Amino acid sequence: MIKKGSCSRHDCFIEAGGEVSGSFFEAANIKARGNVKANYIMNSEINTMGRIIVSGSKGMLLGGKTSAVRGVDTFNLGNGSHLKTFLEVGRTKMYEEQQEEYGHRRDQLVNELNALDKGWNKILQLLSANREVSEDTVRKVHATIVAKSQELADLDAEISKLANITDQGMIAPVTVRGRAFGGTVIVINDIKYMLTSEVRRAIFKLRNKRIVMVTL
């Protein structure tokens, strides 16, 4: 949490394993695993696995590039000068990186379990042939198989949760509670939508593989 905010004419980088919050962010580069919250965000590049929330009756998100897996909730979006404002939600680059990381980890766990299963089968063969195998070895191998199996199940749950975040069931991917100005580009799951004029109190969401605007 930054008590006031961050404004820099030079490079400003913030990286967090959880949430980032401050009164304002200007010309900032933020990467976070949790939500990013502020009252004012301008000309910044934000990447988050969470949601971007810009609150307050004068809250504004304008300029720069904003990427949020769980969506964006802001009071105002862009400005009357049509300053280009880019929003990307859902399957962002950060989402793809997380998905790839999960895939690598799952492959690793499957390989480890296959090796453990071979070892366990060898133990069973030795026992069936009345060969001596230490109880400690049997206990350790069995406990490792149980632990790795649970880890794989937990990972599969996380993979499923990640996929569900970005499906068409997202209730409000982009919510604008005040005004959204022309010059704003919204991308949801790689589907693009450009605002050409001002709209008020709107939700932008996917419907039949296209972005539609509904009144808030």
**Rounded alpha-carbon distances, angstroms, from residue 163 to 7, 88, 107, 168, 174:** 35, 16, 18, 10, 18
- The three-state secondary structure class of 209 is coil
Reported confidence tier of residue 109, pLDDT bands at 50, 70, 90: very high
How many other β-carbons are positioned within 10 Å of the β-carbon of residue 184? 26
Instruction: Give the pLDDT score at 118.
Output: 93
Mean pLDDT in residue range 211-215? 91
C-alpha 72/C-alpha 113 separation (Å) is 40
- The three-state secondary structure class of 69 is coil
The model's pLDDT over 25-82, given as tens digits with 9 standing for 90+, comes to 999 999 999 999 999 999 999 999 999 999 988 899 999 999 999 999 999 999 888 8
The model's pLDDT over 111-135, given as tens digits with 9 standing for 90+, comes to 999 999 999 999 999 888 888 888 8
Instruction: Give the pLDDT score at 169.
Output: 52
Domain boundaries, the chain: 2-91+171-215, 98-165
134's CB contacts (< 8 A; 6+ apart) are: none
C-alpha 38/C-alpha 17 separation (Å) is 17
Pairing between β-strand 199-207 and β-strand 210-215 as defined by DSSP bridges: antiparallel
- The three-state secondary structure class of 161 is helix
C-alpha 204/C-alpha 87 separation (Å) is 11
